[in-house]
């Protein structure tokens, strides 16, 4: 079913960002609960869907924003584990990188605060930093923990702390930024990619910001302020003159009206739609609130998730799932697990991402992953096909996957006829709107599961193959 969308410039901003209220024509149902969980988490398990329907959309959003009981203990445990003690990353030896990726993938699978973990993924791509240059897994883990601490907090202290982060300083050559010979790499990216966007600063602003950041170095483990290498002369940045340092750069760039609009457009693409770019008129009401709140990201995200625009055709299935979204959503939806190794390095887990086009802790460049249609091509679709097949098989194998799709069907539905079971699987994995999926496709799956064709396979295998076919549908690739 194809829906013709209204142009964004035809939408009234006040109406767009007003809180959504269910109505008889657009009720709070499994379609919208699934939509919310795909965007504010990585998809939902059956109990999560049922709970959402029971407590309503407002309570569900509140719960997603704060996480569930037990998350603090889980965070403390995970922060203590990981690659701190590993040797520096060595070329042609992916053991350290794999352990680092395993550590995060385990958090993604097991987290009780999926919205925050999803925001960690967003900021990881925003502040794209790669282990291939940093080469120290412990520093990359440290940055990841930093991002998690600020993921739903206020952006100004977040930006200031990321500016002092050792992994970032290595990534963008902070130690080469010294008085008399400023290195412009971080100064440029803090404006172009982190706050303002192209067209909202000049080359002079880049040079002056670089001077302000001189002496912001790292000893390879922590931030160090090298007073002897800091340029303490007058600088003019974005129209303001003074003896500025890095803290002043953070303050000045976030005082620019363009900053809030830039960040909101990125979050719009991440949470609402990868389609048409929203205009200043549509973005500005949120931007004003974001600035007035002191760049409170949790408040902004909550406003977006509660909005009429979010619960509309403008947002529904208007994003392509990233590889991480696909993998984690698949595992959580089927209540599958990936067994860790005895030493908790969980070396199997990175293999889940093989060939999908997204290697955690190794974005392709300072701009991060492009996303959208770039996620899907003949190679990555084949990789999704193969991964889905491994998951539904339920045998641990080299990837450590453990699942039991047939038991899942028996657990949550009393229906023993093929039509009832197929309907349940669609509700569990796709949550489609009425008429969204071609009835012929549904009919073929019912016919297959009823053992009409073929009749020689055991029922458990028929269920696995039915789920596999559903996981390859175009609708399942969309968020």
- Rounded to the nearest angstrom, the gap between the alpha carbon of residue 226 and the centroid of all alpha carbons in its chain is 35
Tell whether omega for the bond before 100 is within 30 degrees of 0, i.e. cis.
Answer: no
Q: pLDDT for 188-207, tens place per residue?
A: 999 999 999 999 999 999 99
Q: pLDDT for 57-81, tens place per residue?
A: 999 999 999 999 999 999 999 998 8
Given this model, what pLDDT does residue 418 score? Answer: 93
Q: At what angle do helices 137-150 and 114-126 cross, to 10 degrees?
A: 120
- Report the C-alpha gap between 160 and 247 in whole angstroms: 7
User: Is residue 243 predicted with pLDDT exceeding 90?
Assistant: yes
User: Is residue 346 predicted with pLDDT exceeding 80?
Assistant: no
C-alpha dihedral over 13, 14, 17, 20, to 10 degrees? -130
Q: pLDDT for 30-43, tens place per residue?
A: 999 999 999 999 99
Query: Where residue 338 falls among pLDDT bands split at 50, 70, 90?
Result: confident
Q: pLDDT for 112-148, tens place per residue?
A: 999 999 999 999 999 999 999 999 999 999 999 999 9
- The pLDDT > 90 percentage for the chain reads 83
Given this model, what pLDDT does residue 351 score? Answer: 76
Given this model, what pLDDT does residue 97 score? Answer: 78
What integer best gives the mean pLDDT of the chain?
Answer: 92
DSSP alpha helix (H) spans, 366-454: 378-393, 405-412, 418-429, 439-449
Given this model, what pLDDT does residue 332 score? Answer: 95
Given this model, what pLDDT does residue 444 score? Answer: 94
Q: Whole-prediction pTM value?
A: 0.94
User: Is residue 308 predicted with pLDDT exceeding 60?
Assistant: yes
Which among 91, 145, 139 is positioned nearest to 120, based on CA atoms? 145
Q: pLDDT for 393-423, tens place per residue?
A: 876 655 678 899 999 999 999 888 999 999 9
- For 443-478, give the DSSP string: HHHHHHHTTSS--SS-HHHHHHHHHHHHHTSGGGGB
Q: Which residue has the higher pLDDT, 285 or 450?
A: 285
Which of 15-19, 162-166, 213-217, 339-343 is the least confident region?
Answer: 339-343
CB of 261 within 8 A of CB of 295?
Answer: no
Average pLDDT over residues 358-370: 97
Given this model, what pLDDT does residue 92 score? Answer: 44
Given this model, what pLDDT does residue 379 score? Answer: 97
Given this model, what pLDDT does residue 284 score? Answer: 97
């Amino acid at each position: 079913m194809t829906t013709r969308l209204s142009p964004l410039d035809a939408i009234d901003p006040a109406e767009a960002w007003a809180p959504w209220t269910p109505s008889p024509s657009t009720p709070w149902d499994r379609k919208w609960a699934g939509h919310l969980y795909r965007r504010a988490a990585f998809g939902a398990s059956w109990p999560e869907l049922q709970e959402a329907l029971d407590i309503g959309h407002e309570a569900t959003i509140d719960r997603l924003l704060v996480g569930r009981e037990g998350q603090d203990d889980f965070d403390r445990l995970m922060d203590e584990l990981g690659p701190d003690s590993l040797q520096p990353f060595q070329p042609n030896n992916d053991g350290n990188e794999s352990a680092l990726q395993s550590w995060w993938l385990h958090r993604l699978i097991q987290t009780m605060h999926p919205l925050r973990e999803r925001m960690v993924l967003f900021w990881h791509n925003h502040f794209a930093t790669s282990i291939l240059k940093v080469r120290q897994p412990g520093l990359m883990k440290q940055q990841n923990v930093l991002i998690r601490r600020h993921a739903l907090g206020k952006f100004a202290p977040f930006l200031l702390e990321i500016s002092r982060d050792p992994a970032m300083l290595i990534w963008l050559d902070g130690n080469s930024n010294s008085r008399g010979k400023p290195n412009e790499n971080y100064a440029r990216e803090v404006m172009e990619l982190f706050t303002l966007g192209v067209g909202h600063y000049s080359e002079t602003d880049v040079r002056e910001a670089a001077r302000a950041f001189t002496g912001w170095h790292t000893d390879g483990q922590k931030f160090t302020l090298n007073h002897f290498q800091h340029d303490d002369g007058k600088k003019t940045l974005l129209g303001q003159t003074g003896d500025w340092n890095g803290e002043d750069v953070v303050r000045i760039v976030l005082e620019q009206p363009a900053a809030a609009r830039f960040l909101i457009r990125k979050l719009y693409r991440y949470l609402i739609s990868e389609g048409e770019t929203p205009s200043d008129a549509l973005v500005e009401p949120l931007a004003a609130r974001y600035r007035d709140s002191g760049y409170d990201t949790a408040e902004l995200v909550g406003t977006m998730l509660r909005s009429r625009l979010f619960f509309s055709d403008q947002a529904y299935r208007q994003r392509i799932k990233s590889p991480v979204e696909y993998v984690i959503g698949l595992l959580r939806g089927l209540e599958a697990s990936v067994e860790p190794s005895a030493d908790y390095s969980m070396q199997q887990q990175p293999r889940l991402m093989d060939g999908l086009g997204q290697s955690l802790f190794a974005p392709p460049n300072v701009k991060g992953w492009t996303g959208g249609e770039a996620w899907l091509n003949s190679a990555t679709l084949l990789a999704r096909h193969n991964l889905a097949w491994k998951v539904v098989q339920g045998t641990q194998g080299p990837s450590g996957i453990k699942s039991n799709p047939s038991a899942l069907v028996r657990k949550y539905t009393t229906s023993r006829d093929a039509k009832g079971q197929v309907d349940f699987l669609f509700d569990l994995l796709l949550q489609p709107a009425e008429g969204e999926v071609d009835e012929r496709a549904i009919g073929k799956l019912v016919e297959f599961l009823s053992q009409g064709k073929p009749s020689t396979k055991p029922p458990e295998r028929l269920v696995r193959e039915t789920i596999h076919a559903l996981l390859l549908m175009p609708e399942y690739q969309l968020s």
